[in-house]
Amino acid sequence: MADPSFERLVSKADPNAPILDGECALVDFWRWAFSDLVSNEVRGVFAEFIVGHALGVLDEPRKSWNAWDLTYRDTRIEVKATGDVQAWAPTGRPPRPSWSIGKRLGWDAETNTYASEPLHSAQLYVLCHWRGRDPAPLTPALLELWDFYVVPTRVLDDQYSDRSSLSMSQLKRLLEVDDATASKYSTLKDAVDRTVFGESAADA
């Protein structure tokens, strides 16, 4: 069992901090590891960054193993990303957009404990769809190529509790009955505020 008294503080690192006995700077590692925003792993983290920037919650570094991705006005948010192209050469028809929504034994970074049973730890999902066709490494940085969908977790629990993923056709059914909200980047914060608090960003 994890020690609930354990505390590990992480602050934003200096990109110019020397590493490898001064032969490199930390930014050299970042460039090596995260220059390809198209790759699935990096694109998912980049989607979290986009949503976090829209909501203004990037003051602290990302907690990679936390049970949810972002906390906005005491609301736990899970960010999931999908894309129309991959980093590798296409092998056939384009991939069909889908998002992972399965329940899991989440780890709470604040209490240093795991959930006792698989569940949706977040209260809200923001599903991100990158529609880019150009697999150039920095293409996902273009905000106009992203669509966002805000889905309350209670909707997933009610309608897709046992599903591990959500397809675009299933998402469209949620949109048709107003169980989800479609958004572009410019209106994402407002969409989250209206979904969670019943208010616009201007009223917050």
Please report, for the chain, the start and end positions of each structural domain, with discontinuous segments joined by +. Answer: 37-197
The b-or-e profile of 70-81 (16+ CB within 10 A means b, else e) is bbbeebbbbbbb
**Largest interatomic CA distance in the chain:** 58
What does the CA dihedral 27, 32, 33, 37 come to, rounded to 10 degrees?
Answer: 100
| Fold classified for 37-197 | Trna Endonuclease; Chain: A, domain 1 (3.40.1350)
Side-chain half-sphere exposure of 168, counting CA atoms within 13 A: 13
CA distances to 122, 127, 155 from 181, in Å = 17, 10, 12
Those residues of the chain that have pLDDT short of 70 are 1-6, 200-204
pLDDT at 186: 98
- 136, with CB counted inside 10 A (0-12, 13-18, 19+), is exposed
The three-state secondary structure class of 177 is: coil
- The DSSP secondary-structure symbol of 104 reads B
**How high is the pLDDT of residue 190?**
97
Report yes or no: 149 and 183 within 8 Å, Cβ to Cβ: yes
SS3 174: helix
Residue type, 123: Q
